[in-house]
Structure 1
Amino acid sequence: MKTTDEWEEEIMKVTMKIQKQFPELSKYISEMPENFSRTDKKTINKKNLKEYHDSLVEILKEYSKTHSAENA
C-alpha cells in the first residue's frame, strides 16, 4: 500500500491533469489536495486518500468519454 505522501502526490497529479485538460471539472471537485494540509491529520488516512484518488480518476475517465480535452 502506498504511503500518505504517495497518495497525496497521486491526487495532485490527477487534479493537475483535470485542471489542464478539463478545467470545467474543477468546480465539481469539492476537496482539492491543498486542503488536506489544513485538515486535522488524524482524519486523513491512506484509505481516505485512496478513495478520493479513485473518485477523481473515475470522474476523469467518465468525463473524457464524452468530452474532448482542451490540452491533450
Structure 2
Amino acid sequence: MDGNDLARRLRQHPETAGDLLIAATGYGGAQDRENTLAAGFDHHLVKPIDSSALVDFLVPLRRAGP
C-alpha cells in the first residue's frame, strides 16, 4: 500500500474522513500532485519539506482547538 492508497482508505471511514492529510513525497511533477489530490490529500509537499509551508497548514488547526 502506498500513501495514495492509504489516503483513499482514510477518506472512506467516518472517523478519519475529515482529517487533514498532507502528502510528503519525493515526487513533485504535475501528475504526482494531481494523483495525491485525487486520492484525498489536502496538500502535496515535496521533500525536502519547507517547514514554513507545513506550519502554515497546521497553525489554523491549533487556532481551531480540540
TM-score (structure 1 length as normaliser): 0.30
Larger fraction in helix:
1
Which structure is richer in relative contact order (CA contacts within 8 A, separation 6 or more)?
A: 1
TM-score (structure 2 length as normaliser): 0.32
Larger fraction in strand:
2
